[in-house]
Chains A and B, each alone.
Chain A
């Protein structure tokens, strides 16, 4: 029987002790093995990366205000889009949800004290930091201008302006970050396999865990390929051994195969955790059992596995063989199904529900809108003949931002607001949080929708100068980027404000039924004072709203 009254504590001097107040000082954080503190450190670190990548984006969009030179030079522009992509992908989106929110929530959702390998978990964070330092040094050495894709032979020859050190620093960064990602993935896999509490079978886990599990699977299987690929780049660049560069007898298209063999599955590292978050946000705020649990769980695994077989859809115009393109196109279509299944199931979860419209739910709605567009526009790119026209145009840029930003970023914000009371022990103010959701939604669409039209009309991506006929689209897009940036700032400001001024959070502010809503907010070091009872994590009928604590309590 879980205790209802978990907000009070059991410490002898009766001051509330939680993971935040447990111990003090820099070292108590830097050397911590507590998954919650590591999660919080990841959260801070990835948020900083997000703000950095966002700043690059704002500069890029400003440069594109006018067709010719606006604020920066050719070379600076190329460095900006390289850093924007690299920072956002490797430092923010990939670790964002799994390593920050996942680290915090995964053990608690399992009713466990910590992950299976706490030390590995801390190591993974420090690997992230080292990788990030390499990236930043590439920034300081100035000159990394290869795009986040590091396509050869551009990245391995001296033809470009990048200095050797910049390329090596950046690729080493990717290499080290890869380890960070593998460690986290491995840890999660083992934790989910071995630490589920009695009574929680595979199909009793919250869907967020299914999503994290599938993500971890990809992290462990795909990341080594990326690591090897970037090592090969360094080898070729330093020793002139021919792998990708035809001058030494290599093959540039081979690089693209290696790169996308990782980077397409990586797309699902970025979006699967978001699916998990959305499943939680929707069912909790609908106060209604998730619809089609098994289909959603299976679809995560299906996406993770199919994701390994479609990398060639990035290469329809690369010079790969016709037949290869045809096969990749066909398999790519099959991945559309599990993604669509999720949307339909979330929709069905809203049927006959009882919906609370708090900020996390608004983010979830925004996700449904944006991800649906992101997914549907993927069809234009998996179809062979339309992709030949659209490939490497702004259509592609718009498509993947609808998935990565409209999908992952909105889910990240939604999840952050949703779990914030648990993480910080404070309630954020609802109004500015809703404003942020609204600004992000409007700003996002304004930024990226015009890019679909532009791309269809033939505007290629990564262009510093462009033809005057595209200017009005670019200007809408730039204005949208400012609004989006403002929305993100409002979101972060709301959270920071709540740390100082927020009301104390109850154990269960939204009425969630999974285990994280049964431990105090914020949780004590050991998460649960007594082992919690495992019930159906989507059965909200056993909850009742309690006026006194302004939260929900279990009735049975």
Chain B
């Protein structure tokens, strides 16, 4: 973007190896990298000069017995002014280079493909076209951290077409999070109570890591995701399939299961009767039973109760659990129906008929 770019020169230097950075996969990534290497080389230059002088003086002027005192200057205004002012020019240039590219990174393109990103403890949720597709999930509790495949097996995927301006409109449900894509060299805090935006244009097909970069509690390090950059064609194909849940999962139980695992319920609700720490009641065990509710008469767990619990979790709070369940995770009737079928089937497999 800047005309003053030193990037061609810097690119020719051997140091700009893949060793330092993740791959350079957004249109502005190279701006960040060359400024980084420019500062890097300036720093190395000054560091080497200072250390060399220090080492030289240490050897040359070490104390030796019987050595006469040397005459030395106690100050030299010209020199001191020079070394205060001359490096400033470099600093001004660093500032300028960073500024130009920052304005580029932070000014949203006019026409772009919009995706809504929600951050909450501890998963990301990507929503396309007002919830037509919602992708969410997080690292599985039993993931093997020595195996990248296993870590990323259940994380949500942000599908985007290559060479297209993408704008993410981001909001947090609970505390601060930060959306960080190292391969694109960008990050933006995701703040409750306001929308923050981030844009990028991925220039190569591939799959790239996403981290949460703002500390958000216990599973901060498990709040991972992936950006899947694909050709427009592949993206369209994915979109067509993903947006049609009924076609993707004709069986409502399967559809409910998909919703359960893709909308973040896994974080708090187990399927085996156990209670997750800081979570909610298991989906196994309560169906058809009387549920104790804070400050109200117990209610039977049936279709209506589940429906209300999802749409308005604070209406009846299951005694012994915190008021932590977020509203709005699932809002569409058909989806709620599928989820209810899934829960019912979990508890009473025989009584639910499943479409084969």
Which A residues fall within an 8 A CB radius of B?
Answer: 66-69, 74-75, 78, 145, 147, 151, 153-154, 157-161, 246-247, 250-253, 286-295, 316-319, 322, 325-326, 329-330, 333-334, 336-337, 340-341, 343-345, 347-348, 350-357, 365, 368-369, 372-373, 376-377, 379-380, 382-389, 391-393, 453, 456-458, 460-469, 538, 541
Task: Determine if B217 and A78 form an interchain contact, defined as CB atoms under 8 angstroms apart.
Answer: yes
Q: Which residues of B contact A380 (CB under 8 A)?
A: 36, 39-40
Task: Determine if A68 and B146 form an interchain contact, defined as CB atoms under 8 angstroms apart.
Answer: yes
Contact of B145 among A67, A160, A460 (CB under 8 A): A67
Bound Cα distance from A449 to B76, whole angstroms: 35
Q: Pick the 5 closest A-B CB pairs, nearest first.
A: A246-B193, A458-B182, A68-B145, A384-B102, A383-B98
Q: Which residue of A lies closest to B87 (CB)?
A: A340
User: 24 pairs across A/B with beta carbons < 8 Å?
Assistant: A69-B145, A78-B215, A154-B176, A154-B216, A251-B194, A319-B194, A329-B99, A340-B84, A344-B83, A350-B61, A352-B61, A354-B70, A355-B57, A368-B50, A379-B91, A383-B98, A384-B95, A385-B102, A388-B185, A458-B22, A466-B145, A467-B151, A468-B145, A468-B148
Category for how many chain B residues contact A: 35 or more
In whole Å, how far is A47's beta carbon from the nearest beta carbon of chain B? 29
Bound Cα distance from A421 to B69, whole angstroms: 26
Binds A, one of B205-213, B261-269, B306-314: B205-213
Q: Which residues of A contact B174 (CB under 8 A)?
A: 153, 157, 159
Bound Cα distance from A291 to B79, whole angstroms: 11
Task: Determine if B178 and A289 form an interchain contact, defined as CB atoms under 8 angstroms apart.
Answer: no
Q: Which residues of B contact A373 (CB under 8 A)?
A: 47
Binds A, one of B219-227, B252-260, B282-290, B345-353: B219-227
Task: Determine if B83 and A340 form an interchain contact, defined as CB atoms under 8 angstroms apart.
Answer: yes
Task: Determine if B54 and A292 form an interchain contact, defined as CB atoms under 8 angstroms apart.
Answer: no
The interface bits of chain B over 106-138 (1 if a CB of A lies within 8 angstroms of the residue's CB, else 0) are: 110000000000000100000000000000000
Residue B246 is within 8 A (CB to CB) of chain A in the complex: no
Bound Cα distance from A130 to B214, whole angstroms: 31
Bound Cα distance from A147 to B175, whole angstroms: 14
Residue B230 is within 8 A (CB to CB) of chain A in the complex: no
Task: Determine if B176 and A291 form an interchain contact, defined as CB atoms under 8 angstroms apart.
Answer: no
Q: Which residue of A lies closest to B218 (CB)?
A: A74
Residue B163 is within 8 A (CB to CB) of chain A in the complex: no
Q: Which residues of B contact A340 (CB under 8 A)?
A: 83-84, 87
Contact of A354 among B69, B84, B212, B217 (CB under 8 A): B69
Contact of A392 among B71, B98, B147, B187 (CB under 8 A): B187
Contact of A252 among B63, B74, B191, B278 (CB under 8 A): B191
Task: Determine if B36 and A386 form an interchain contact, defined as CB atoms under 8 angstroms apart.
Answer: yes
Known contacts A337-B88, A350-B54, A345 near B180 by CB under 8 Å: no
Bound Cα distance from A357 to B57, whole angstroms: 12
Known contacts A322-B106, A384-B99, A354 near B61 by CB under 8 Å: yes
Bound Cα distance from A151 to B105, whole angstroms: 25
In whole Å, how far is B20's beta carbon from the nearest beta carbon of chain A? 5
In whole Å, how far is B49's beta carbon from the nearest beta carbon of chain A? 9
Q: Which residues of A contact B19 (CB under 8 A)?
A: 453
Known contacts A383-B94, A391-B213, A347 near B187 by CB under 8 Å: no
Residue B188 is within 8 A (CB to CB) of chain A in the complex: yes
Bound Cα distance from A509 to B209, whole angstroms: 58
Contact of A317 among B40, B99, B188, B219 (CB under 8 A): B188
Residue B270 is within 8 A (CB to CB) of chain A in the complex: no
Q: Which residue of A lies closest to B185 (CB)?
A: A389
Bound Cα distance from A355 to B87, whole angstroms: 29
Known contacts A294-B75, A337-B91, A355-B58, A383 near B97 by CB under 8 Å: yes
Task: Determine if B101 and A161 form an interchain contact, defined as CB atoms under 8 angstroms apart.
Answer: no
Q: Which residues of B contact A351 (CB under 8 A)?
A: 57, 61, 72
Which B residues fall within an 8 A CB radius of A?
Answer: 19-22, 28, 31-32, 35-36, 39-40, 42-43, 46-47, 50-51, 53-54, 57-58, 61-63, 67, 69-76, 79-80, 83-84, 87-88, 91-92, 94-95, 97-99, 101-103, 105-107, 121, 139, 144-148, 151, 174-176, 178, 180, 182-183, 185-189, 191-194, 196, 209, 211-222, 278, 322, 324
Bound Cα distance from A369 to B220, whole angstroms: 34
Q: Which residues of B contact A67 (CB under 8 A)?
A: 145-146
Bound Cα distance from A422 to B114, whole angstroms: 68
Bound Cα distance from A369 to B53, whole angstroms: 12
Task: Determine if B39 and A383 form an interchain contact, defined as CB atoms under 8 angstroms apart.
Answer: yes
Task: Determine if B50 and A68 form an interchain contact, defined as CB atoms under 8 angstroms apart.
Answer: no
Bound Cα distance from A379 to B54, whole angstroms: 22
Task: Determine if A468 and B147 form an interchain contact, defined as CB atoms under 8 angstroms apart.
Answer: yes
Q: Which residues of B contact A538 (CB under 8 A)?
A: 74
Task: Determine if A246 and B194 form an interchain contact, defined as CB atoms under 8 angstroms apart.
Answer: yes
Q: Which residues of B contact A385 (CB under 8 A)?
A: 28, 31-32, 35, 97-98, 101-102, 105, 185
Bound Cα distance from A380 to B84, whole angstroms: 20
Known contacts A251-B193, A355-B61, A465-B221, A384 near B69 by CB under 8 Å: no
Give 15 A-B pairs besides A291-B75, A385-B105, A386-B32 with Cβ atoms closer than 8 angstroms.
Answer: A74-B218, A78-B217, A154-B216, A159-B324, A252-B191, A291-B74, A316-B102, A355-B57, A355-B63, A373-B47, A388-B186, A389-B36, A453-B19, A457-B22, A465-B139
Bound Cα distance from A541 to B19, whole angstroms: 52
Bound Cα distance from A159 to B293, whole angstroms: 21
* Most chain B CB neighbours (cut-off 10 Å) among A289, A292, A341: A292
Bound Cα distance from A165 to B292, whole angstroms: 29
Task: Determine if B91 and A336 form an interchain contact, defined as CB atoms under 8 angstroms apart.
Answer: yes
Q: Which residues of B contact A291 (CB under 8 A)?
A: 73-76
Q: Which residues of B contact A326 (CB under 8 A)?
A: 99, 102-103
Known contacts A388-B105, A465-B145, A352 near B72 by CB under 8 Å: yes
Contact of B182 among A78, A290, A389 (CB under 8 A): A389
Q: Which residue of B lies closest to A383 (CB)?
A: B98
Task: Determine if B63 and A388 form an interchain contact, defined as CB atoms under 8 angstroms apart.
Answer: no
Known contacts A67-B145, A337-B87, A458-B22, A384 near B189 by CB under 8 Å: no
Task: Determine if B215 and A353 form an interchain contact, defined as CB atoms under 8 angstroms apart.
Answer: no
Task: Determine if A289 and B72 form an interchain contact, defined as CB atoms under 8 angstroms apart.
Answer: yes
In whole Å, how far is B56's beta carbon from the nearest beta carbon of chain A? 9
Known contacts A294-B75, A318-B189, A388-B185, A379 near B146 by CB under 8 Å: no
Bound Cα distance from A533 to B21, whole angstroms: 60
Task: Determine if A341 and B84 form an interchain contact, defined as CB atoms under 8 angstroms apart.
Answer: yes
Q: Which residue of B lies closest to A465 (CB)?
A: B221
Q: Which residues of A contact B209 (CB under 8 A)?
A: 458, 467
Bound Cα distance from A384 to B106, whole angstroms: 11
Q: Which residues of B contact A350 (CB under 8 A)?
A: 53-54, 57-58, 61
Task: Determine if B175 and A154 form an interchain contact, defined as CB atoms under 8 angstroms apart.
Answer: yes
Bound Cα distance from A326 to B185, whole angstroms: 18
Q: Which residues of A contact B102 (CB under 8 A)?
A: 316, 322, 325-326, 329, 384-385, 388
Q: Which residues of A contact B74 (CB under 8 A)?
A: 289-293, 538
Q: Which residues of A contact B221 (CB under 8 A)?
A: 460, 462-466
Q: Which residue of B lies closest to A457 (CB)?
A: B22
In whole Å, how far is A279's beta carbon from the nearest beta carbon of chain B? 13
Q: Which residues of A contact B144 (CB under 8 A)?
A: 68
Known contacts A161-B218, A347-B53, A350-B58, A458 near B99 by CB under 8 Å: no
In whole Å, how far is A392's beta carbon from the nearest beta carbon of chain B? 4
Bound Cα distance from A352 to B61, whole angstroms: 6
Bound Cα distance from A258 to B132, whole angstroms: 40
Q: Which residue of A lies closest to B20 (CB)?
A: A456
In whole Å, how far is B173's beta carbon from the nearest beta carbon of chain A? 10
In whole Å, how far is A439's beta carbon from the nearest beta carbon of chain B? 20
Task: Determine if A462 and B75 form an interchain contact, defined as CB atoms under 8 angstroms apart.
Answer: no
Contact of A74 among B80, B182, B219 (CB under 8 A): B219
